[in-house]
Amino acid sequence: MTSNVKRFLAASLLSLMPSVALAEQYGVEDLLSQRHDYVSVVKEETIQLPSGRLEGNASLRPATTINDFYISNWTGVNTFAGYSVTGTPNPLPPSPLAPVAPPAISGYFQMITPLLTPLTQLYYYTTNPADPTGAAKTCRWILTLTVTNGVCSGTINQAAFGTQGVICSLSNSQTFVDPMTCQAQVVTAIQ
């Protein structure tokens, strides 16, 4: 994938976030300056999440944290969710997920968990729920959060499956973990 295509896709994902979410996390200028961080995969890759600090006083931590997941379906057909998630959903991953044209976001879900909790959140989207690794386009993402000495860090493992030529993508500039709370935001796309 050329650098120009990566930049185009990254800019597309940047325009997808609701303005309220952008205002809570980063300034728009900060997001746009990081467009070169977009990552796509056709097989499997693990990516270290950048740290992103949310506004507010770190000493006034809430008892829970929220993991926000944004998904774009650019396959042209409905995709169906599978997941193994921890916490209280608000809501569960949408399924089916209707296709939209890039750069639009197709769906969103949250998981509410205890503050500074190590965990693994796994979700995938496929065009063929009866055979996700066969005649399908399937993308799987695994968010893993770890806590060491009261500081949270995380990784995303993304993998592509199926015989239909899928591209699984992660917006590295909009995906982060807050080291003080383990609040994570993950922005992904299936194409």
Neighbours of 50 (CB within 10 A): 15
| Strand bridging mode 119-126 / 80-84 | antiparallel
Q: What is the pLDDT of residue 143?
A: 97
**Which helix or strand (DSSP H or E) is residue 101 part of?**
none
Are 177 and 52 within 8 A, CB to CB?
yes
Each residue's pLDDT expressed in tens, for the chain with a length of 191 residues: 444 433 333 333 333 333 223 223 322 233 223 333 335 566 888 989 888 765 555 555 678 999 999 999 999 999 999 999 999 999 999 999 999 998 899 999 999 999 999 999 999 999 999 999 899 999 999 999 999 999 999 999 999 999 999 999 999 889 999 999 999 999 999 99
| pLDDT of the residue at 62 | 72
Report the C-alpha dihedral over residues 163, 14, 23, 120, rounded to 10 degrees: 20
**Residues 172, 38: Cα–Cα separation, whole Å:** 5
181 within 8 A of 61, measured Cβ to Cβ: yes
Hey, is 65 helix, strand or coil? strand
Strands 39-41 and 168-170 come out as: antiparallel
Residue 92 is classified by DSSP as P
Instruction: Given CATH 2.40.128, say whether it is the number of domain 3-190.
Output: no
Sequence letter at residue 135: A
